[in-house]
Structure 1
Amino acid sequence: VTQGNTLIIVDNIINRKIIADIGVDSSNIMNIIMPNATQVEKSTFQGFRSLQYVYAPMAQNLCEYCFADCSSLFRFDGKALKKIEAYAFSFCVCLSEVNTDRVEHLGEFCFEFCQNLRSFRSQVLKGFSLTSFDQNDNLTNIDVVNAEQISGNLSKPNPNLVFNCPMLPTFHSQVENTLNQPHVNQNLLQANVLISPSSNIAQRAFFNFTQLSFVCLVNCTEIKDEAFRNCFSLRRFSALSAQKIGNGAFKECQSLVQVNLDNLQTAGDSAFKCNYSLQTVDFPLLEELSHELFGYCFALKSVLLKSLTKIHESAFAKCGSIKVLCKNDVQIVRKRSGGEDNFQFVDKVEKQQERLFQTFQERIKLKKVIKNLKQAIELYNAMHNTVNGMKDGQ
């Protein structure tokens, strides 16, 4: 059954026939609850691009391609996994949380292009191929203490990847060598919360800050070209004073789910291109949608644009069907005649169901960070005033 954007399945074996019988619209499913499932068969949920969370506490076997191309999938919640077959999570670019402690088998390319996956751990895995983790540039740790064999190669080297596998000295020795190197990748040292009073953010200022997850810009009025491009882990962004963002400002921020830009008036080409997790935006002052502004935003459903007057035909390139809420007559800028638009103008948009996981936990953590920063600033100011007072007294 479906409840809002949540799909609930009580079967033990989940396959495509069950999904077809239910009549599920994959583009609307954000959460999947499978309390009894022990196996998910081949390609069952392949291409569920709005899917963000899966709860399957009893799942043991994930067959080939079962969650492939679920580009918004952030978390797989289940502690019983034993077998993850080939391509099971292929191109789940946002996947960062999956419990693999009991995994006994990994198929080839099962985590291919899972670019938010930072670490892998299994206490029982005896052997696997490195191709299981191909194209995972941000993977930094593989912890397989009982592994007796590691085969295959990555298609390109990952200089930050270290192994904990004491039974395989060839690989295990790389841990010590890597840790003893004087050069440490700066991406591993970046804070995951940024709160800045800057009036503007320079071009490529935070390009490829792959650890960055929250950003709050208090006084920022302009964000220049590619300022936050390739911030894979960036999930929430707020800059309420920002009026302009440049070309590709948030391009390839694949985990971005919430953007607060209430005063945004100008957005450059491809500013939000390849934001796979973005489902809705509300920019009340934005008047024009530029070339590929939301291109390849596979999960995007609706945009609320009260001041919109012009939209380029490529604004939603490669997206699904987009609902555009606006109040004005809108000019569509076309480079070619004919063809069908993948967007429609509407008077109202249904509110999306809030995600089931971590929302409140993340908010609590963020509030604590902000509170601690404020306290540190207050303490610094108090000490500074005390020192100045002592100087004046002298």
Structure 2
Amino acid sequence: NTLIILQQQKSEKDLQSKFDKRNIFYVIAPYCKIIKAECFAKFKNLRYAWLPSLKKIEKYAFHLCYSLFTIDSNMLSHIESGAFSTCFCLSSLNLDQVQKIDGYVFSSSYSFQILKANKLTELQNEQFKPCDQLFYVDCGSLNICDKQFQNKKLKFIRTPLLSHNTIELQKSAHVCKETAIMNKECKIIDPFPDIAEFIQFEPSKKQLMESQMQNRLSYDKYDTILISSQSIIPKTSQQIRGLVLSQIQEIQMEQFYQHSSLLFAHCPNVHTVEEGAFSRCQSLRRFFSNKLQIIEQNAFFACLSLSYISSRNLEQIGDSSFGCCQSIVSLTFNKLIHLPSLSFERCQGLRQLIIPKLRSVGVDVFSSCENEIVIVSPYQPETKVDKSSFRTTPLRFQEILAGRFVERSKFQVAVQMQKEKNKTIVIMTKFLRR
């Protein structure tokens, strides 16, 4: 699932017809300086690219990479128009050296919430249209800003060179002390927080401990993560980015509908997610509950970034429950017996479902999916299920990135421990020889 490139630049022609794009999750290109126009367009399962030498990304280079989560590159300086358009999941991109961003670069990149670009001098509305998820802006050299640039979810802003306010801010917004603003009700924060404080796709150990305290209801220091041990969920703002709910057993109908800034939900005791509860949470990447049994109609519809959900104990899912979830690659349902109608409609990244107890399949389960989905099950339907094939052995994949690498980190630790053991053996051997 990893594509390794050793050339200094790559074009779409170089990659045509050499492999199935759906199989590529990761790109490693240590020497590549230029990604040519449309080079990786429609790599719908591409999640991570390591490009340490990259300086320029040409037009539509990553267009329609629905699952692209991060580009790891520290030297990037120029991004041409549409480069990341319709990259629904894009969340992490180092822009510190970027001096120019052309039009519609982040168009429909609904998960792109953090913009830090110290050398960027101009910010235009069309660069992000129609994406209004920006939560944090840190642009030390910005001196020109489109008056139409508005973002209701913008909470942290550092633009010390802007002579007057052209960005609409809410009362709850935080600004650095140098930033001139017209809204005097905004809070001044000094020192301005680093982006590392906001890159979180699962709860910390401290937050998990707090959620176990009796009758607890609190937020992190910036009011972006809700931590609760109560049995009732309070009303939450559209700016909420994380949920740690230890005692909740049901997520009610449309409770977090269109909470498009939400990144993760850790709810270990939830057994039921009601109709439309997380519908259109476009940035939601992880939902955890090992007790999860029932997901109702449209519960996770259009969760474009959803990459991990605790599905093993699910007994029932509703119509369109995972419709338009573009980043799901593989799910395992150990207890599910029925696949309802349209349950995985328009899931363009989906490769397989493992359902050992499957007994029946509804109508148009995979409606509008472009590719065939593998269903791993001993069940054989009497009539053909469109856009699917049945088999008894699962497809094998590398670790599917949902927030941070787990398997690779464990492997690095194991290698380091082995190195230390080898050093000890060498020292002991020398000692014994003496």
Compared CA separation, residues 226 and 103, structure 1 to 2 (3 A):
same
Give the drift of 1:201: 1.9
Please point out which of 14, 18, 41 is paired with 2:14.
Answer: 18
Compared CA separation, residues 323 and 174, structure 1 to 2 (3 A):
closer
- Kept after mapping to 1: 8 A contact 2:55/2:76: yes
Q: From the two aligned structures, give the one with the greater helix fraction.
A: 1
Q: What is aligned with 1:360?
A: 406
Compared CA separation, residues 168 and 216, structure 1 to 2 (3 A):
closer
Q: Distance in 1 between matches of 2:132 and 2:6?
A: 36
Compared CA separation, residues 117 and 191, structure 1 to 2 (3 A):
closer
Counterpart check, 1:180 vs 2:185: yes
Please point out which of 372, 377, 381 is paired with 1:321.
Answer: 372
Normalising by structure 2, we get a TM-score of 0.74
Alignment of 1:135-284 (within 5 A): 135-151=130-146, 153=148, 157-161=150-154, 164-171=158-165, 174=168, 176-177=181-182, 180=185, 187=237, 190=240, 192-284=242-334
Q: Distance in 1 between matches of 2:404 and 2:83?
A: 24
Counterpart check, 1:47 vs 2:93: no
- Kept after mapping to 2: 8 A contact 1:191/1:212: yes
Compared CA separation, residues 248 and 121, structure 1 to 2 (3 A):
same
Compared CA separation, residues 132 and 173, structure 1 to 2 (3 A):
closer
Alignment of 1:54-65 (within 5 A): 54-65=49-60
- Kept after mapping to 2: 8 A contact 1:187/1:210: no
Q: Distance in 2 between matches of 1:187 and 1:80?
A: 36
Structure 2, unpaired ranges of 5+: 170-180, 188-222, 225-235, 411-434
Give the drift of 1:174: 4.9
Q: What is aligned with 2:178?
A: none
Compared CA separation, residues 37 and 241, structure 1 to 2 (3 A):
same
- Kept after mapping to 1: 8 A contact 2:353/2:373: yes
- Kept after mapping to 1: 8 A contact 2:286/2:309: yes
Q: What is aligned with 1:383?
A: none
- Kept after mapping to 1: 8 A contact 2:147/2:167: no
Give the drift of 1:152: 7.5
Give the drift of 1:280: 0.3
Q: Distance in 1 between matches of 2:296 and 2:120?
A: 47
- Kept after mapping to 2: 8 A contact 1:146/1:167: yes
Deviations 1:285-343 (A, max 9, x none): 2122222211121110000111222223421122221001111232559xxxxxx8211
Q: Distance in 2 between matches of 1:14 and 1:130?
A: 30
Deviations 1:139-170 (A, max 9, x none): 1233322233334746xx42233753333323
Q: Distance in 2 between matches of 1:68 and 1:173?
A: 27
Q: Which amino acid aligns with 2:162?
A: L
Compared CA separation, residues 101 and 255, structure 1 to 2 (3 A):
same
Counterpart check, 1:285 vs 2:335: yes
* SS class of match (1:359): coil
- Kept after mapping to 2: 8 A contact 1:241/1:262: no
Q: Which amino acid aligns with 2:9?
A: I
Structure 1, unpaired ranges of 5+: 334-339, 365-394
Q: Which amino acid aligns with 2:4?
A: I
Compared CA separation, residues 73 and 178, structure 1 to 2 (3 A):
farther
Q: Which amino acid aligns with 2:21?
A: S
Normalising by structure 1, we get a TM-score of 0.81
Q: What is aligned with 1:347?
A: 392
Q: Distance in 2 between matches of 1:122 and 1:280?
A: 35
Q: Distance in 2 between matches of 1:200 and 1:362?
A: 34
Q: Which amino acid aligns with 2:13?
A: K
Q: Which amino acid aligns with 1:180?
A: E
Q: Which amino acid aligns with 1:28?
A: N
Q: What is aligned with 1:94?
A: 89
Q: Distance in 2 between matches of 1:140 and 1:362?
A: 30
Q: Which amino acid aligns with 1:84?
A: I
Counterpart check, 1:77 vs 2:72: yes
% identical equivalent positions = 26
Compared CA separation, residues 124 and 219, structure 1 to 2 (3 A):
closer
Counterpart check, 1:8 vs 2:4: yes
Q: Distance in 1 between matches of 2:378 and 2:246?
A: 34
* RMSD of aligned Cα (Å): 2.7
Q: Distance in 2 between matches of 1:191 and 1:276?
A: 20
- Kept after mapping to 1: 8 A contact 2:373/2:389: yes
- Kept after mapping to 2: 8 A contact 1:243/1:266: yes
